[in-house]
Amino acid sequence: MNPVIPPDQFPDSSSPAAELPRRLTLLQGTALNMIDMVGIGPFVVLPLVIKTLGGSLFLWAWVLGAVVSLVDAFVWAELGAAFPKAGGSYNFLKISYGEQRWGRLLSFLYVWQTLIQAPLVVASGAIGFAQYASYLLPLEEWQRKAVSGIVVLIIIALLYRKIDSIGKIGLIMWGAVLLTLGWIIIGGLSNAQIPLSETLSSIGSVSGGVLAAGLGQASVKTIYCYLGYYNVCHLGGEIQKPARNIPASMFISIVGIAGLYLLMNLSVVSVVPWQTAQNSEFIVSTFVETLYGPRAAQFATVLVLLVAFSSLFAVLLGYSRVPYAAAVDGQFFKIFARLHPTRHFPHVSLLLLGGLGFVFSLFFRLGDVITAILAMRIVVQFVGQAIGLLLLHRRRAADEFPFRMPLYPLPVVLVICIWLFIFFSTGLTFMLSGLSVIGLGIIAFLISAQFRKQWPFGH
């Protein structure tokens, strides 16, 4: 997209923008978080993590993913409760670094990255959907691409409606997620064929150095499966009682999903030996087939596909609010600030990100997409927000933060160190690709700022 934006293409800052209605409850916000988190990720990542670490060590990667998410959620909770607006990180970065100077650059970079990484997230879910669908019906490569593209188009059609209607759909999808994970957990633990003591016995016999060597690489995959606990922040302008509900929905989501993930992993390896699981492309289907036979495995595959579909629904819903927020703020094309005349949602933003997700789903591979997503987000969004919160605490009084994290600033410093560790664990290629996107974004920002005579080239 052309970064040089004529002044008349921005929303008129002197006129009030149409506000999004606050219709989402705590339950609905939590449901949208959880279905965002539990997409196709845990079902395709589980074998990859086992293969990376071997034996029962893979459980530590899931534990680390939960710890990183929980600590990082304290940062999101403070920012989300204090600034409950559509767009989430866009507003957090702009306010934290100063709305007239560096905040303009950081928030611009976030929107710039969103135009790439949000469609990549959509594409990853669609590609994983097509991969699992091939268990039911063997598909050639071009057929998988067709399936992934069609899934994205259906998601766009479902989201083209009012937010209160979407909240109800989200609750139904949440029920499907809990049903699927519950069946896997109860079925495996109640019909265990491999004692858990045998599965867990190798944890204590491995040195810390060997564990740390593979943990970073494996955790890149598991953390991907936790991403989405902050989806409620992107929908901050549509959440009821945001000072209470935004933090609560995130912590409930993380604790609940972490418990489900760990139980699911234990359940699977209690039925399917980890030596077999690490090479399975359809681990849940293999697991259910071992217990109940081929027909049950086909039904389980359908449930996994429904979970993946639900996650795509929540992902695209949340990210569609980011270009909208930037456009309302005057940092993006005016057309993206438009709400649908009767359904009152940012339909142009939805169509843009959904359309790019459709295109990406036709050209990328799943493993590369997962790592690229994480590498692209870390520097600006996760590390940038954490540092921004430190800056905000220096400028603002404590009573301006409805939610306060315990032991401040230790969680913030800890999460910065962890995210940098994960960033280096993605590998040189993906690190450079993420930094290249940032570099191009800085160039685009400078061109746009110079054209409009704004900071750093004007007042």
Cβ pair 422, 375 in contact under 8 A: no
Q: Is the bond leading into 456 cis (omega within 30 degrees of zero)?
A: yes
Token readout for 269 is 């390896």
- Domain assignment present for residue 173? The answer is yes
pLDDT band at 368 (very low <50, low <70, confident <90, very high): low
- Domain assignment present for residue 273? The answer is yes
Per DSSP, the three-state class of 235 is strand
User: Which CATH number characterizes residue 254's domain?
Assistant: 1.20.1740.10
- For residues 221-247, average pLDDT: 90
Phi, psi of 94 (to 5 degrees): -65, -45
How high does pLDDT run on average in the chain?
84
- How many domains in the chain? 1
Sign of CA dihedral 366, 367, 368, 372: positive
pLDDT band at 457 (very low <50, low <70, confident <90, very high): confident
Compute CA 436 distance to the chain's CA centroid, rounded to the nearest angstrom: 21
Alpha helices in 236-293 (DSSP H): 242-269, 274-277, 283-292
- For residues 260-273, average pLDDT: 90
User: Residue 435 above 60 pLDDT?
Assistant: yes
Within 10 angstroms of residue 213's Cβ, the number of other Cβ atoms is 11
- Domain assignment present for residue 3? The answer is no
Q: What is the DSSP string of 280-291?
A: -SSHHHHHHHHH
Domain interval for residue 361: 19-452
285-292 long-range contacts (CB < 8 A, ≥24 apart) are 285/132, 285/135, 287/184, 287/188, 288/184, 288/187, 290/193, 291/187, 291/188, 291/191, 292/187
- For residues 37-55, average pLDDT: 81
User: Residue 244 above 80 pLDDT?
Assistant: yes
- Domain assignment present for residue 198? The answer is yes
Q: What is the DSSP string of 139-191?
A: --HHHHHHHHHHHHHHHHHHHSS-HHHHHHHHHHHHHHHHHHHHHHHHHHHHT
Cβ pair 403, 247 in contact under 8 A: yes
- For residues 204-226, average pLDDT: 67
Say what angle helices 294-319 and 41-53 make with each other, to 10 degrees. Answer: 100
Cβ pair 271, 287 in contact under 8 A: yes
Non-local CB neighbours of 77 within 8 Å, separated by 6+ positions? 246, 247, 250, 251, 403, 405
- Domain assignment present for residue 160? The answer is yes
Per DSSP, the three-state class of 24 is strand
Tokens 């008349």 belong to which residue?
Answer: 8
Beta bridge partners of 239: 24
The pLDDT tens digits for 318-338 are 888 888 888 888 777 788 888
The pLDDT tens digits for 296-315 are 999 888 888 888 888 788 78
Compute CA 40 distance to the chain's CA centroid, rounded to the nearest angstrom: 12
pLDDT band at 103 (very low <50, low <70, confident <90, very high): very high
Ranges 246-250, 280-284, 383-387, 433-437: which has the least confidence: 280-284
pLDDT for res 83: 93
The pLDDT tens digits for 395-413 are 988 888 999 999 999 999 9
- Domain assignment present for residue 201? The answer is yes
- The pTM (predicted TM-score) of the whole model is 0.81
Ranges 48-52, 148-152, 266-270: which has the least confidence: 48-52
Q: What is the DSSP string of 299-361?
A: HHHHHHHHHHHHHHHHHHHHHTHHHHHHHHTTSS-GGGGPPPTTT-S-HHHHHHHHHHHHHHH
Token readout for 68 is 């990183």
- Domain assignment present for residue 124? The answer is yes
- For residues 365-371, average pLDDT: 69
pLDDT for res 386: 96
User: Residue 168 above 70 pLDDT?
Assistant: yes
In the DSSP assignment, the letter for residue 400 is G
Phi, psi of 86 (to 5 degrees): -65, 140
Non-local CB neighbours of 401 within 8 Å, separated by 6+ positions? 78, 81, 82
- Domain assignment present for residue 267? The answer is yes
Alpha-carbon span 424 to 374, nearest angstrom: 11
Cβ pair 51, 136 in contact under 8 A: no
**Whole-number CA gyration radius for the chain:** 22
User: Residue 169 above 50 pLDDT?
Assistant: yes
